[in-house]
Amino acid sequence: MTNHVGRTAGSARAGQLRFHPLTVIAQREVRVLKLIIGNKAYSSWSLRGWLALKQSGLPFEEMTVPLYDEDWNRRREGDEFAPSQGKVPILWDGDTVVWDSLAIVDWLADKVGRDRFWPDDEGARAMARSMAAEMHSSFAALRREHGMNVRRRFPFQGLSEAANADVVRILGLWAEARARYGSGGPFLFGGFGAADIMFAPVVTRFITYSLPIPRFAQAYMEAVITHPWMQEWLVAAQDEPWVIEKFEQPVGA
Would you list the domain boundaries of the chain?
17-115, 117-236
SS3 30: coil
Average pLDDT estimate for 169-190: 98
pLDDT at 252: 52
Instruction: Produce one character per residue of 209-244: b if its CB has 16 or more CB atoms within 10 Å, e if not.
Output: bebebeeebeebbebbbebebbebbbbbbbbbebeb
Class for domain 17-115, per CATH? alpha beta
pLDDT at 187: 98
Q: Percent of the chain at pLDDT above 90?
A: 75
* Band of residue 87 on the pLDDT scale cut at 50, 70, 90: confident
Class for domain 117-236, per CATH? mainly alpha
pLDDT one-digit tens code per residue, 123-158? 999 999 999 999 999 999 999 999 999 999 999 999
pLDDT at 5: 35
CB 53 within 8 A of CB 91: yes
CB 39 within 8 A of CB 240: yes
CB 4 within 8 A of CB 209: no
CB 127 within 8 A of CB 180: yes
pLDDT at 18: 65
> Residue 41 pLDDT > 90, yes or no?
yes
CA 23/CA 30 separation, integer angstroms: 11
CB 138 within 8 A of CB 86: no
> Residue 85 pLDDT > 90, yes or no?
no
pLDDT at 7: 34
Label the pairing between strands 33-37 and 60-64. Answer: parallel
